[in-house]
Amino acid sequence: MAIVGLDTAVFTAPDMKKAKAFLADWGLKKVRDGKKGAVFATRIGSEIVLRPDDYPALPPAAQEGMHFREMIWGVSSRKHLAAIRKELERDREVTVDADGTIHCLDPNNIGVGFRLWQREKRVKATPERFNHAGHYRRIDARAKLYERAQPLRMGHIGFIVPNLEAAEKFYHKRLGFPISDKYAGGAATFMRNAEREDHHNLFLIWSRDGNTRFHHIAFEVNDIHEVFGGGLYVTRKQGWQTEVGPGRHPVSSAYFWYVKTPVGGAFEYFSDSDFVTGNWKPVSFRENRFSEWHLVDGIPAPEEGYRDRPSLSNAGKA
């Protein structure tokens, strides 16, 4: 149904000041800020919306204590938007804003909406040139060191849900999200919003305890150097806590770094994800393949005076 990408994610914040500080540190641009909340944007303009905890005009939380309220997907045309509305109205309540944005709840009571996509599809990345044996693209130049990250866009979103089967049918069968891969035994499903897309734009994990939780949103950056630069900035310099990473996903091939947020769940920097088409063959992995490798608690700062130490080659020499 011509879904283009993740347009907006809406949260309530128990501490607005802290949540806004986190989004600014994450590298998002503040677009609006007032009594009704704040809006922060990626480089393509996709948005994180923060509302006060008592803000009334929002979908209900899918689970008590959950601050995530809604994900809104961009759609390529009004015709496709109308088709989605018609499909959803078959079995659930749908509301429509003045600008045509439609809202409903998915089978796990997670708020989901759709609106006409009015942003850039992607910002053209400016990654560093990498040197490989026999293929030298960076000559007489040092690679860039990123002081912090500036996310290009939201690449995917993930939830832990009690009814994974119903969610899969809703997004795959009814809304046309192709399935990219699965964990066997109904443990998790990776889906993308179009046939030619990143490996996944929606990640759903089965909830063992029956509770619904927001898991994470992933923000694409230029390259692996920016994954490291962004992660180091928000953890070392700004004091936010690593959830897990840095590391590398074998399922999607992407490099990652997850950081805990003040609105629950995690935000992820990622780079170098697989891009797939209709020729992609989904695999049902028998084991959880979260990472090929990862650091559990981020990268600690070097010990005091580390830069002043003699090199190993000179150690012990008079």
Instruction: Give the predicted TM-score (pTM) of the model.
Output: 0.94
DSSP 308: G
**Amino acid 304: pLDDT:** 64
**Residues 6 or more apart from 277 whose CB is under 8 A from it?**
195, 196
Classify burial at 205, counting beta carbons within 10 Å of its beta carbon; exposed 0-12, middle 13-18, buried 19 or more: middle
CATH level 2 (architecture), domain 3-116: Roll (3.10)
Q: CA–CA separation, 215 vs 233, rounded Å?
A: 22
| Residue 155: pLDDT band with limits 50, 70, 90 | very high
Decide: 246 and 272 in contact? Cβ < 8 Å: no
Q: CA–CA separation, 277 vs 266, rounded Å?
A: 28
**Amino acid 301: pLDDT:** 85
- Whether 310 shows a pLDDT value over 70: the answer reads no
Report in angstroms the alpha-carbon separations of 188 from 36, 169, 252. Answer: 36, 13, 14
Number of other CB atoms surrounding residue 261 within 10 Å: 25
Number of other CB atoms surrounding residue 239 within 10 Å: 8
The 10s digit of each residue's pLDDT in 208-248 is 999 999 999 999 999 999 999 999 999 999 999 999 999 99
Q: CA–CA separation, 221 vs 235, rounded Å?
A: 17
Q: CA–CA separation, 35 vs 48, rounded Å?
A: 16
Q: Identify the H or E element spanning 166.
A: helix 164-168
Average pLDDT over residues 251-279: 97
**Amino acid 289: pLDDT:** 81
Take residue 90 and report the two structure tokens written for it: 């078959």
User: 144-294, what's its fold?
Assistant: 2,3-Dihydroxybiphenyl 1,2-Dioxygenase; domain 1 (3.10.180)
The 10s digit of each residue's pLDDT in 85-144 is 999 999 999 999 999 999 999 999 999 999 999 998 777 778 888 888 989 998 999 999
Q: CA–CA separation, 236 vs 226, rounded Å?
A: 15
- E-assigned strand segments in 106-207: 111-116, 131-132, 135-136, 153-161, 179-183, 188-191, 197-198, 202-206
Take residue 314 and report the two structure tokens written for it: 């000179």
**Strand 29-34 to strand 293-294: parallel, antiparallel, or no bridges (unpaired)?**
unpaired
| Residue 317: pLDDT band with limits 50, 70, 90 | very low
Average pLDDT over residues 269-286: 96
Decide: 6 and 201 in contact? Cβ < 8 Å: yes
Decide: 38 and 155 in contact? Cβ < 8 Å: no
**Residues 6 or more apart from 275 whose CB is under 8 A from it?**
196, 197, 198, 199
**Amino acid 122: pLDDT:** 74
Q: How many alpha carbons lie under 13 Å from residue 61 in its C-beta half-sphere?
A: 19
Average pLDDT of the chain, as a whole number: 93
Q: CA–CA separation, 310 vs 63, rounded Å?
A: 55
Percent of the chain exceeding pLDDT 90 equals 83
DSSP 80: H
The 10s digit of each residue's pLDDT in 13-59 is 999 999 999 999 999 999 999 999 999 999 999 999 999 988 988 99
Take residue 112 and report the two structure tokens written for it: 């989901």
**CA pseudo-torsion sign 124, 128, 133, 139:** positive
Domain ranges of the chain: 3-116, 144-294
The whole-angstrom distance between residue 5's C-alpha and the CA centroid of its chain comes to 11
Asked whether this chain's domains 3-116 and 144-294 adopt the same fold, the reply is: yes
79 phi and psi, to 5 degrees? -60, -45
